[in-house]
Amino acid sequence: MARRPAPAGGARGRGDEHEAWGRPSKRGSRPRTKQRPEHTDAVVGLVTGVDRGRYTLLLDEGGSDERPVLAMKARELTRTRVVVGDRVDVVGDTSGDPGTLARIVRIAERTSVLRRTADDTDPYERIVVANADQLVIVTALANPEPRTGMIDRAVVAAYDAGMDVLLCLTKADLGSPEDLRGLYEPLGVDVVVTRPADEAAGSGTLALAPQSVEEVRDRLRGRVSVLLGHSGVGKSTLVNALVPGAGRATGHVNDVTGRGRHTSTSAVALRLPARPGGDDGGDGAAYDGWVVDTPGVRSLGLAHVEVAHLLQAFEDLDEAAQECPRGCTHLADAPDCALDDWLAAAPDEAARATREARLDSFRRLLASRTASV
């Protein structure tokens, strides 16, 4: 299991929108009961998709009456964001019959909140997914070349959100995973590698080696996992292998909207089949977990992450920095920063290379964060 610092600041405690019920209304203090209708007939749903004010929910997940339901937000939630992964209370027509529209009246407290800002200078933060356990950073070993800066940033965003990290290295036929393993396993990041099936060469669509797909599935089982990856890394190939029928196509242009699917940045939750091929094994336990695909989310801006929290995502540096002078910025030009001593004290060349990469990554992040303030 990946080790990580306690979610600094946490998913809660930062005035998340879902706490809006607890705040006094702008017009004064109306009694809480008036602000919060009881809706005792409400049923619980999981938000699996969001599209222009319409929410796709799954009701009675895993139960005998499981059904997708289309819903909108009740008026009292107008200013509250509802995102994929949210658990909500719904009222009205919850039959899921064609043409019906239920109403979302409450959002359950979130266990995690993955946020992004468009870039580091944009203070405007958006919630990408709620209640996810794990961020899966999908990175190709070559074509496109892996970028450690991007991986580091995603690691920081995940730790800030209180999520574990799985680094999924694709295209093992094109490159070796060892360098990246060496860089990330010491941080408590779990690493899994995928490769094409042997017979894939020459065939039209690329098939992944089933064993490597199952190694990924094992790590997603029973969890809510958000997949993040740059274009071309093989994320769609992986999602289609894990979730047959997901139809995550590359460069596909939607017939209805006429737009490429990547023009949308809204996430979609897909159920993870418990077994390869979606075979339910005859026992009804067809699904075991959720895979949240994030088309269009290429990187996670970190403007919302507090600088002090960054260090916590780098356990090795965090420990070394205990020796820093009070108020040390840890930047490259900081006088007497203990991180420089830590690098200089590397016992051998290999350790020095690893430490240097870590320190460079951390300082890159730190510099971009500081520049935005």
Ligand X SMILES: Nc1nc2c(ncn2[C@@H]2O[C@H](COP(=O)(O)OP(=O)(O)OP(=O)(O)O)[C@@H](O)[C@H]2O)c(=O)[nH]1
Nearest CB to ligand X, comparing residues 237 and 312: 237
* Residue list 183-242, contact with Zn ion (CB under 5 A): none
In this structure, the strands spanning 134-140 and 164-170 are parallel
What DSSP character marks residue 108?
P
Task: Give ∠ CA 287-288-294 in degrees, rounded to 5.
Answer: 95
d(CA 206, CA 170): 12
Q: Choose from Zn ion, ligand X, none: what does 173 bind? Cβ within 5-8 Å by kind.
A: ligand X
3-state helix, strand, coil in the chain (%, to 5): 30, 25, 45
170 is an annotated ligand-binding site residue: yes
d(CA 276, CA 186): 31
Q: Choose from Zn ion, ligand X, none: what does 174 bind? Cβ within 5-8 Å by kind.
A: ligand X
80 is an annotated ligand-binding site residue: no
Least separation in angstroms between residue 159's CB and Zn ion is: 19
Q: Choose from ligand X, Zn ion, none: what does 350 bind? Cβ within 5-8 Å by kind.
A: none
Nearest CB to ligand X, comparing residues 12 and 298: 298
194 is an annotated ligand-binding site residue: no
d(CA 127, CA 119): 14
294 is an annotated ligand-binding site residue: no
What DSSP character marks residue 299?
-
Task: Give ∠ CA 249-298-12 in degrees, rounded to 5.
Answer: 115
How many residues touch Zn ion (CB under 5 A)? Answer: 4
Question: Is residue 307 close enough to count as binding Zn ion by CB under 5 A?
Answer: no
265 is an annotated ligand-binding site residue: no
Check if the beta carbon of residue 158 is closer than 8 Å to that of residue 133: no
Question: Is residue 337 close enough to count as binding Zn ion by CB under 5 A?
Answer: yes
Locate 101 and state its tokens: 């529209």
SS3 29: coil
Nearest CB to ligand X, comparing residues 205 and 322: 205
337 is an annotated ligand-binding site residue: yes
Nearest CB to ligand X, comparing residues 92 and 234: 234
Among 269, 310, 311, 324, binds Zn ion (CB under 5 A): 324
Check if the beta carbon of residue 160 is closer than 8 Å to that of residue 128: no
d(CA 269, CA 297): 14
Contact footprint for ligand X (CB under 6 A): 170-171, 173-174, 194-196, 206, 229, 231-237, 250
Sequence ranges of the binding site for GTP: 170-173, 229-237
**Site residues (CB under 5 A) for Zn ion?**
324, 328, 330, 337
Sequence ranges of the binding site: 170-173, 229-237, 324, 328, 330, 337
Sequence ranges of the binding site for Zn(2+): 324, 328, 330, 337
